[in-house]
Amino acid sequence: MLLVKNLHKSFTLHMLGGKRIEAFSDVSFQVAPGKAVVLSAPSGGGKSSVLKCIYRTYLPDAGVIRFQSPSLGLVDLASLDEHRVLVLRRGEIGYVTQFLKVLPRVSTVDVVSEPLINAGVDAELARRRAVETLRRLRIPEALFSAYPATFSGGEQQRVNIARALIRRSRLLLLDEPTASLDAESVGIVLDMLQDCKEKGTAMVAVFHDRSVAERIADSFYTLRPDDGFVRAAAP
């Protein structure tokens, strides 16, 4: 369903005299429906950047990201026009970012129900589903109407997960979704991810904890430690 081939990403920093930073180079892997591939590499090795390229928060320099979309057919996410990328983000591709980024003054329930509302679900129903998802993730009821900006790291991360899992995605991108969770919460999240896989969702994930990764991964892909991150690590 997703085929990444010879993907390459670098940054040119014009304010630093055109300095180039390689995020990763020559990345190739694929994922089938209902399967999860886990990316591994040392810190700075380009894991988050690969996910961001698939979501198109980053524009890749070279390579293809072939995605089989029910609504748009076979597309190349590396070059797809922005309106179509937004269509896929709205209905088919979900993303749990490494850190929660939310707009100010939006309550937890509204943050979580928004993706459903954007997908055309009635607002009342979406809010009920948001409440169910938050309960499943053991977010205290008292926080439902509060603003997530002030939450603890683990609470924010669970809100982030709730927001991504409230609707079905064909492809889910997960960047350290369990990093700041206690063991019990990790178990709940993995159960929820397992449910998604059984319903056919494909996943590309990054976990810093190998033992957690092994509970969900069907395969691992190691980003080659080429000169990219070595150069970036050295000042």
Looking at the DSSP bridge assignments, the partners of residue 8 are 62
- Rounded to an integer, what distance in angstroms lies between the CA atom of residue 151 and that of residue 134? 14
Q: What are phi and psi of 188, to 5 degrees?
A: -65, -45
Contact pick of 20, 59, 125, 225 for other proteins (by CB under 8 A): 59
Stretch of residues binding ligand ATP (CB under 6 A), selected from 26-34, 43-51, 108-116, 180-188: 43-51
Cβ 227 to Mg ion shortest distance, Å:
19
- Rounded to an integer, what distance in angstroms lies between the CA atom of residue 208 and that of residue 194? 18
Contact pick of 25, 49, 97, 113 for ligand ATP (by CB under 6 A): 49
Strand duo 62-69 + 2-13: pairing: antiparallel
Contact pick of 46, 60, 91, 115 for ligand ATP (by CB under 6 A): 46
Site string for other proteins, 98-117 (x = CB under 8 A): -----xxx-----------x
Which residue's structure tokens are 């630093």?
A: 16
Cβ 232 to ligand ATP shortest distance, Å:
3
Contact pick of 15, 74, 142, 234 for other proteins (by CB under 8 A): 15
Site string for Mg ion, 39-68 (x = CB under 5 A): ---------x--------------------
AA letter at 115? P
AA letter at 116? L
Token pair, residue 171, equals: 């492809």
**DSSP letter at 78?**
T
- Rounded to an integer, what distance in angstroms lies between the CA atom of residue 76 and that of residue 183? 38
Judged by the rule CB under 5 A, the positions of this chain that interact with Mg ion are: 48
- Please give the residue ranges that form the binding site for other proteins (CB under 8 A): 11-15, 52, 56-59, 72, 82-87, 103-105, 117
